[in-house]
Copies of this chain bind each other. A is one copy, B any other.
Amino acid sequence: MKKILAFDIGGTKIAYAIIDENGNFTNEIIKVTTPKTSAGIYDLLETVIKGLEDRIDGIAIATAGAINNENNKIISHVGNLPEKYNELDFLSLSTKPILLENDANAAGWAEFKMGAAKGTKNAVILTLGTGVGSGIIVDGKLLKGKSGSAGEMHVRFGFGQERKCTCGLWDCLETYVSGNALTTDAKLYMSTDATSYDVIRGLKDNNQKAQAAFEHWQSCLENALVMVGNLFDPEVIVLSGSMAQFVEYEKLNNQVNKDILTQPLVLKLAKFENNAGMLGAALLLLEKL
């Protein structure tokens, strides 16, 4: 049975595990702190790969950043990783097959192949974490666009200058429906030092200000879901990431289906949590072997 060494490279942690061709994690998932330099990251990957190389058929890497259509190169800047990380020559890490994919795309692929979007052909997986990522499945394939960077959820919601986005523009979707966005709403509706955690705690205590903050956040999410429904006509929209667990699925599902012009869709919570990126990258590589 084929086995893939899968990595998930994030700004704070690097996780890795061996995944077999059925999508099972065959050993424990190891997590280490992300080295502070890109050379340090390269050395870490190399050391791990050297130690496991004789047991695996390939290496799959889920990472922040846009990945080209050949799945071997980062083609964008990657804000929360060290300088020149995007210039690393990942292919030189091993003579075994190596595949890179954007972490949100990889997580989306895992949900599509084995998770909440299994059995569909058209699905959108939104990752609501600190920011917002997406994996978009069109007719059974990942939407990559001409260069591989399709699915950037930077769509302006508004014409003013209310919320500055990490992309440099104002009022992108990300500034309204991410974890950071809920912190913005916490400050607007609760107090200037409140965060998303205070909103979540407040919901449990029936705090009205927390409820107002959450309602606003969720109504913005509804706008985003209507956009996704109208543009892509997916069978299912899957929500993943740290914020996904707080969403009122039935209520939002009904409202979205009332508002879209396309045919009914289903809103679902993701099946996989933090390991979806590794799993999806491994499954993508297995299809190519």
User: Which residues from chain A sit less than 8 Å from chain B, CB to CB?
Assistant: 66, 75-76, 120-122, 138-139, 141, 143-159, 167-169, 219-220, 223, 226-227, 230-235, 259-263, 265
Contact = CB atoms under 8 A, between A and B. Distances in A.
A149 B227 contact: no
Contacts of A262: 66, 145, 147, 149-150, 152
Given A154-B226, A155-B155, A167 B261 contact: yes
A143 B151 contact: no
Most buried by B among A66, A226, A232, A234: A232
Contact of A223 (B75, B147, B156): B156
A116 to B, nearest CB: 15
Nearest to A229: B152
A157 B156 contact: yes
A232 B263 contact: no
Most buried by B among A75, A149, A235, A262: A262
A157 to B, nearest CB: 7
A267 to B, nearest CB: 14
